[in-house]
């Protein structure tokens, strides 16, 4: 549920695939599907088990789940509405939470990385526009990883690696999270990256404090500056190749440890 919109697309595509496989004119495909459905009763890692488990989170879905496991068509529309309702509920709850205070992926995603009602990506159910761009696969993958919190920043890696979440690349003593590495980290590599993108950063309204008109560009914000959740979200929702590339390069810096 980290990215509810993508979860909806995944679920809808999975059910469409399931229904079309049932109707397939390929006897072999229908047999493979039925064998997978049989496997689902004792192996939770098979495809049918994973798709059917999504129904466990949806209200009133037990009967439909049984239908699916008995190789019957799944009526889709009711469950997509249910899914959307759940997704909006998560968004509403996230609206009243602070990412750094609760350290929950859903909150961080919705506050900082996800598309908001006022962002250019507008609808929470639309696919982000950068996914339609003809981008280098490495850039696309890294930017998506950053948005979905599937990066190696310490705020996440300490959960599966152990150790501290405090940034080990600078002396700030802050948690090494998305906000820190985007704006506050004083690590030489990150500062060098911001210098390379300083024209872009100067243009960003949210980063006007990086380069006050009367002084030289300083490639980090000091602890006296504050960046709101809204500003972080607006920054990450810009329709800009330079944003995608700079965030991708940022992810690569922290991938190397
Ligand atoms: Zn740092």
Q: What is the pLDDT of residues 200-247, one digit of tens each?
A: 887 775 556 676 666 678 888 888 888 889 889 989 998 899 999 999
Evaluate whether residue 208 is within a structural domain: yes
pLDDT in tens, 88-117: 777 788 888 889 898 888 889 889 988 765
Burial (CB count <10 Å: 0-12, 13-18, 19+), residue 110:
buried
User: What pTM, to 2 d.p., does this model score?
Assistant: 0.71
Paired residues of 175 in beta bridges: 166
Task: Find tokens 């006897």 and name the residue.
Answer: 27
Q: Which pLDDT value is given to residue 31?
A: 92
Q: Which pLDDT value is given to residue 2?
A: 45
Q: Which pLDDT value is given to residue 110?
A: 86
Evaluate whether residue 40 is within a structural domain: yes
Separation of CA 248 and ligand 1 centre (Å) = 17
pLDDT in tens, 222-232: 888 888 898 89
Separation of CA 192 and ligand 1 centre (Å) = 13
Q: Which pLDDT value is given to residue 122?
A: 47
Separation of CA 236 and ligand 1 centre (Å) = 19
Same domain, 113 and 74: no
Separation of CA 187 and ligand 1 centre (Å) = 6
Same domain, 120 and 243: yes
Band (43; pLDDT cuts 50, 70, 90) = confident
Domain carrying residue 230: 99-255
Residue 73 has pLDDT above 80, yes or no: yes
Same domain, 61 and 139: no
Evaluate whether residue 181 is within a structural domain: yes
Give whole-number Cα distances, 36 to 12, 56, 68, in Å.
Answer: 19, 19, 12
């Amino acid at each position: 549920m980290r990215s509810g919109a993508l979860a909806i697309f995944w679920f809808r595509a999975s059910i469409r695939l399931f229904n079309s496989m049932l109707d397939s004119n390929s006897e072999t495909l229908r047999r493979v599907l039925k064998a997978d459905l049989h496997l689902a009763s004792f192996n939770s890692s098979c495809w049918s088990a994973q798709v059917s488990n999504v129904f466990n989170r949806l209200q009133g879905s037990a009967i439909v789940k049984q239908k699916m496991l008995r190789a019957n068509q799944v009526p889709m529309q009711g469950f997509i509405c249910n899914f959307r309702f759940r997704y909006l509920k998560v968004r509403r709850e996230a609206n009243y939470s602070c990412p750094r205070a609760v350290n929950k992926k859903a909150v961080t995603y919705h506050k900082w990385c996800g598309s908001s009602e006022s962002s250019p990506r507008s609808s929470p159910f639309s696919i982000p526009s950068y996914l339609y761009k003809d981008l280098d696969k490495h850039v696309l993958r890294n930017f998506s990883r950053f948005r979905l919190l599937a990066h190696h920043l310490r705020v996440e890696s300490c959960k599966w690696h152990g150790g501290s979440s405090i940034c080990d690349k600078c002396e700030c003593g802050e948690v090494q999270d998305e906000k820190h590495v985007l704006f506050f980290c004083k690590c030489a590599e990150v500062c060098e990256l911001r210098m390379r993108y300083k024209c872009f950063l100067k243009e960003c309204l949210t980063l006007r404090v990086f380069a006050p008109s009367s002084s030289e560009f300083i490639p980090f914000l000091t602890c006296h500056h504050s960046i709101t959740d809204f500003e972080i979200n607006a920054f990450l929702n810009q329709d800009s190749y330079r944003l995608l590339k700079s965030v991708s390069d940022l992810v690569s810096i922290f991938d190397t440890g």
